[in-house]
Structure 1
Amino acid sequence: MTILEDKPGTHAGNDIFEHLESEVRSYSRGWPTVFETASGSWLRSEDGKDYLDFFAGAGALNYGHNNPILKSALVDYIMKDGITHGLDMMTTAKRDLLETFERVILQPRGLDYKVQFPGPTGTNTVEAALKLARKVTGRESIINFTNAFHGMTLGALSVTGNSMKRAGAGVPLVHATPMPFDNYFNGVTEDFQWFSRVLDDSGSGLNRPAAVIVETVQGEGGVNVARAEWLRALADLCSEREILLIVDDVQMGCGRTGKFFSFEEAGITPDIVTLSKSIGGYGLPMALTLFKRELDVWGPGEHNGTFRGNSPSFITATEALNHYWTNDELERGTLRKGERIHQTFMNLSDMFEGVSTRGRGLVQGLVFEDPSDAQKVCAIAFEKGLLAETSGPSDQVVKLLPPLTISDDELEYGLNILAEATAKVRS
């Protein structure tokens, strides 16, 4: 028998991941299989087992895996030798995307935003938003919220709440002040009472902030949903005090909560919006930073990035906008399927003590008082062929982010698995 491990540079089976890949890997620990192909709402491992995906690339695959409509447009573009890498040069692919984004998304919503391509990830667009807010206002401080998650680079990490992720910075994370997110005090006190008081009190010691950054639904923070009236009050507070409002729509945008932007339901118009994940359509890297026209004070090249011009993403993004956002069919389906998940989770909450639920659209959470129960439910679900992750400061929430294009039958199949897993853990 040949033992491959004895030969330098060769490793059998899955040993290469443990041998060569960093200990920082995480999802592969909870889902210990090697995936090979994916289509729609399903992934298949190399040993032929199928897994229903209630994770969707952490929200980067709102239109599913290898969406055939988007794939066809991408293959055609590649086969025509379309520009792949363009920095911020003018290309036909970028022009088509900008024209489509303005026609399909901005104009129908009365939004007069400029569009910046900051680099291809969520943390890139958050960094651009923070830098721009500071440049526009001349102030340094940013207000963020408890349990927020905005990215893993230093600026984005400074406005993130998770202590484990913050500790990884290795340096002080400064110029940010956390405030309580909606219902942080469980209705005991008015959320903005402290915020508005320290802003107006010259003795509070709070530096006047350049901006407030907020998620309408905190996905990584545990599926914490901000009420529409809370968001409106926050927007009013910022407007009255000349503080810029940044909405981080990296995970909750592109239809995850129903409408294209998650803040639409509240009827607010943020000064700056960050988009990534599913804006590329096909799971390809892409990010946008949107901001009101009068805030465009950048000098040429003042914020840039080698891969901000990812043209294949422009192609699939344009196709996704044209196919899914010229009518309300996807939005209505998202809300209907979200309600179906909510009903199932409400039933489980009624059946088992210490279980509750919260969410909007197709981001839904099943919350366990004992965090280990959430982790056990996800482990059992994986064994039964379902991918779901945990979130929250103690990983106490089973968080669902299925593709928006998931079928009703697929949704029911996955919900049955979760119900069985919950019953097994709580029995």
Structure 2
Amino acid sequence: MTITQPDLSIFETLESEVRSYCRNWPTVFDRSRGSYLYDEDGHTYLDFFMGAGSLNYGHNNPVLKRALLDYLERDGITHGLDMSTTAKRAFLETFRDVVLSPRDMDHKVMFPGPTGANAVEAALKLARKVKGRESIVSFTNGFHGMSLGALAVTGNAFKRAGAGIPLVHGTPMPFDDYLDGQTPDFIWFERLLQDAGSGLNQPAAVIVETVQGEGGVNVARPEWLRGLAELCKRHDMLLIVDDIQMGCGRTGAFFSFEESGIVPDIITLSKSISGYGMPMSLTLFRPELDVWEPGEHNGTFRGNNPAFVTASATLNTYWADGQMEKQTLSRGEQIESALRALAVEHAHAGASYRGRGLVWGLTFDEADRARRVCQRAFELGMLVETSGPQSEVVKLLPALTATPEELDEGLRVLTRAVRETD
């Protein structure tokens, strides 16, 4: 693809240096539909990034767009704080009927604010309030957000350093296979909990991702997650599953933890819960944990009614009949097969892959290879990003609604990009 140098002057002179994704994709995007983005010069890009997992159902999904336009055209409420509205009622009823009840879950629903970090902050605050303790245990290479409480349970040193103050009351433990299978699961964690001289304050909760997206597509085994849930019960700790990127069907089932058979005490959702890329997040928790006083945790933008509308349409369209999970797992097998072939072809470079459902990572012995692969993919008309503590993993997040042909197209581009960076 030949790309004319775009006019980026306003972004470079006026926008903060903190911007990041635009540096890897130096063009000006104008339109989007389904699995594709189009820049202002008419170039087409296949999107295997999908708003970092915020667009599981593609760009400008026509079913969701129609629901949103109808709502706006009748002057439906757009901003409602936490007031009762018809849009919120429809979402709560749909979420109960389509998501919670079929899974025998009676969790309460909290709208903590528009972002995933808001959901995590609410989860941590609630766990500390319920248990009357400060300490939270997290895991190596975990990522939970950029606000101070969320950063305290995030592993990435670069992101943590941006806080500018000590990040306290968080203790990291080894994620599944962090020690390459050299020790039994949780031996260090359990030893610290049992030893009065360990220096570990009794934790209020443990927060975990079942698949660490930003951390490098590290997949926890179902048995490891079950062991963690049992450990939490034995030691009176709440289990928080951060399902912000991996929930809403990314791994197959609606919740990423369903495969393991566990039911967390607290769950955070964001990104694709609105279905349309609009800001929305949920903190779910068991009814007995609902100890909030009215207004004790609030926020101006926790009532995004247009997002309630698209969220309801998403659940009714894609999750009411149980077919989305089957389709995602089938599409995942298609990607896994291609990555397996790539790993064999590039075994000399230490190529390996890992993932579940429609989140996959490809990595090489040379850490910088992932960055070069993503750069070449962009030049060929495809968006993919890196992840991992050294940006050493090529992370694939195609839309759950991507067709087999679109996945094949992306996998062909990826294969070419890998070959041309060998």
Range of TM-score over shorter length: over 0.9
Deviations 1:197-223 (A, max 9, x none): 110111111100000000000000000
Q: Which runs of 5+ in 2 are unaligned?
A: 1-5
Letter of the structure 2 residue corresponding to residue 399 of structure 1? K
Length, aligned pairs only: 415
Whole-Å separation in 2 of the counterparts to 1:255 and 1:325: 9
Q: 2:291 is matched with which residue: 297, 309, 318?
A: 297
Residue 347 of structure 1 is matched in structure 2 by: 341
Residue 247 of structure 1 is matched in structure 2 by: 241
Shift of 1:143: 0.1
Letter of the structure 2 residue corresponding to residue 393 of structure 1? P
Residue 3 of structure 2 is matched in structure 1 by: none
Residue 233 of structure 1 is matched in structure 2 by: 227
Shift of 1:13: 2.7
Shift of 1:332: 1.0
In the alignment, structure 1 residue 274 sits paired with structure 2 residue 286? no
SS at match of 2:363: strand
Whole-Å separation in 2 of the counterparts to 1:371 and 1:17: 29
SS at match of 1:194: helix
Q: 2:408 is matched with which residue: 404, 408, 412?
A: 412
Whole-Å separation in 2 of the counterparts to 1:73 and 1:67: 10
Residue 125 of structure 1 is matched in structure 2 by: 119
**Aligned pairs for 1:126-205 within 5 A:** 126-205=120-199
Letter of the structure 2 residue corresponding to residue 163 of structure 1? A
Q: Is the 8 A contact 1:344 1:415 kept in 2?
A: yes
Whole-Å separation in 1 of the counterparts to 2:234 and 2:192: 15
In the alignment, structure 1 residue 391 sits paired with structure 2 residue 387? yes
Whole-Å separation in 2 of the counterparts to 1:207 and 1:14: 50
Letter of the structure 2 residue corresponding to residue 76 of structure 1? D
Shift of 1:119: 0.1
In the alignment, structure 1 residue 382 sits paired with structure 2 residue 388? no
What RMSD, in angstroms, separates the aligned Cα atoms of the two structures?
A: 0.7
Letter of the structure 1 residue corresponding to residue 255 of structure 2? F
SS at match of 1:289: strand
In the alignment, structure 1 residue 22 sits paired with structure 2 residue 26? no
SS at match of 2:421: helix
Q: Is the 8 A contact 1:181 1:191 kept in 2?
A: no
Q: Which runs of 5+ in 1 are unaligned?
A: 1-11
Shift of 1:232: 0.1
Q: Is the 8 A contact 1:275 1:288 kept in 2?
A: yes
Whole-Å separation in 2 of the counterparts to 1:85 and 1:321: 22
Shift of 1:191: 2.8
In the alignment, structure 1 residue 72 sits paired with structure 2 residue 62? no
Q: 2:369 is matched with which residue: 357, 369, 373?
A: 373
4+ long deviations beyond 3 Å: none
Shift of 1:120: 0.6
Q: 2:211 is matched with which residue: 202, 214, 217?
A: 217
Shift of 1:267: 0.2
Whole-Å separation in 2 of the counterparts to 1:415 and 1:313: 32
Letter of the structure 1 residue corresponding to residue 272 of structure 2? S
Letter of the structure 2 residue corresponding to residue 121 of structure 1? T
In the alignment, structure 1 residue 359 sits paired with structure 2 residue 347? no
Residue 88 of structure 2 is matched in structure 1 by: 94
* TM-score of the superposed pair, with normalisation by structure 2: 0.98
Deviations 1:375-398 (A, max 9, x none): 111011000100000000011100
Percent of residue pairs identical: 66
**Aligned pairs for 1:287-326 within 5 A:** 287-326=281-320
Residue 106 of structure 1 is matched in structure 2 by: 100
Shift of 1:337: 1.0
* TM-score of the superposed pair, with normalisation by structure 1: 0.97
Deviations 1:351-375 (A, max 9, x none): 1121100000000000111111111
Deviations 1:238-272 (A, max 9, x none): 01111000000000000000000000000001000
Deviations 1:69-101 (A, max 9, x none): 000000000000000000000000000000000
